């Protein structure tokens, strides 16, 4: 049946349909579609394929699922067990569960309320701030990097003053520094049964500017190249031996001098 002219529903009369797959299709029209002033119930999904879906400040929308392909202009959205609203200045307030299935853009600053969390479910979720040039700060609590982490070219990893620690003691992988100069500003201890080695090349081991004591291990010490001693210190025990040997040499020298000056006389025959 086709209605080719304007049709008016009389006062206090209803337009309804029985159960089944009945469809009401106004998709080819370009005019305004207005509902009554009372409650409007959408029993299934509400899909806005294009254009704008607007609810005035006096209106309300209650539905199980609403999909918008264009612009959604709203004053407040009632959620199951909570609420969602945007005031005249653009401030968004929400309580309860809010699900966002598509791309969400924050045109202004976003603040996470106290004691609230920002999490993601399993999958290939990304948190990408690569186009920003501002400061990125974490919380003051523990921060966990669960995946591989790469420092971009020409960027630095530093810490402020305090008792900061860099602890990789539970790891068993290879630890490599940069190819530039490495500075150990504090005391350094080599753990038991661990080695300090260098690969082939012209590597240097230079303590020439230090004035403290240099001690080797109690095991064998091998000097594979030319060794030059600018100053040697003899330990007390060796010093005593050296003094005894020197005294014995001097005494023997004096005895020889006496024998030369006063040779022993030959007995008379």
* DSSP state letters, 89-106: T--EEEES-----S----
- Across residues 54-83, what is the average pLDDT? 56
Quick one: what percent of the chain has pLDDT higher than 90?
A: 20
The secondary structure element, H or E, covering residue 93 is strand 92-95
Please give the Cα distance from 142 to 140 (Å, whole number): 7
Residue 190 pLDDT class (50, 70, 90 cuts): very high
For residue 123, the 8-state DSSP code is S
Residue 80 pLDDT class (50, 70, 90 cuts): low
pLDDT at 155: 93
Q: Are 86 and 92 in contact (CB under 8 A)?
A: yes
Q: Is the pTM of this model over 0.75?
A: no
CB burial readout 217-250, b (16+ within 10 A) else e: eeeeeeeeeeeeeeeeeeeeeeeeeeeeeeeeee
212-260: per-residue pLDDT in tens? 988 888 888 888 888 776 665 656 666 777 788 888 888 877 777 766 6
């Amino acid at each position: 049946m086709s209605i080719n002219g304007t049709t008016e529903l009389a006062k206090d009369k209803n337009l309804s349909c029985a159960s089944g797959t009945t469809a009401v299709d106004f998709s080819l029209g370009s005019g305004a579609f207005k509902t009554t002033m009372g409650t409007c119930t959408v029993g299934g999904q509400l899909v806005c394929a294009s254009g704008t879906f607007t609810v005035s400040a006096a209106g309300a929308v209650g539905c199980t699922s609403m999909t918008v392909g264009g612009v959604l202009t709203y004053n407040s959205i009632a959620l199951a067990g909570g609420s969602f609203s945007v005031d005249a200045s653009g401030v968004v307030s929400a309580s309860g569960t809010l699900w966002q299935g598509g791309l969400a853009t924050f045109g202004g600053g976003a603040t996470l309320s106290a004691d609230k969390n920002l999490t993601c479910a399993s999958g290939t979720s990304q948190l990408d701030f690569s186009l920003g040039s501002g400061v990125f700060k974490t919380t003051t609590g523990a921060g966990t990097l669960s995946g591989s982490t790469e420092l971009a070219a020409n960027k630095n990893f530093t810490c402020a003053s305090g008792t900061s620690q860099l602890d990789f003691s539970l790891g068993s992988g290879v630890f490599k520094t940069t190819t530039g100069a490495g500075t150990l500003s504090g005391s350094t201890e080599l753990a038991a049964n661990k080695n300090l080695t260098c690969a082939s090349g012209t590597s240097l081991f230079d303590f020439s500017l230090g004035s403290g004591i240099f001690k080797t291990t109690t095991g064998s010490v091998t000097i594979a190249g030319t060794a030059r001693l600018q100053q040697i210190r003899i330990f007390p025990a060796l010093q005593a031996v050296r003094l005894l040997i020197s005294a014995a040499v001097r005494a023997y020298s004096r005895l020889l001098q006496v024998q030369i000056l006063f040779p022993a006389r030959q007995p008379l025959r």
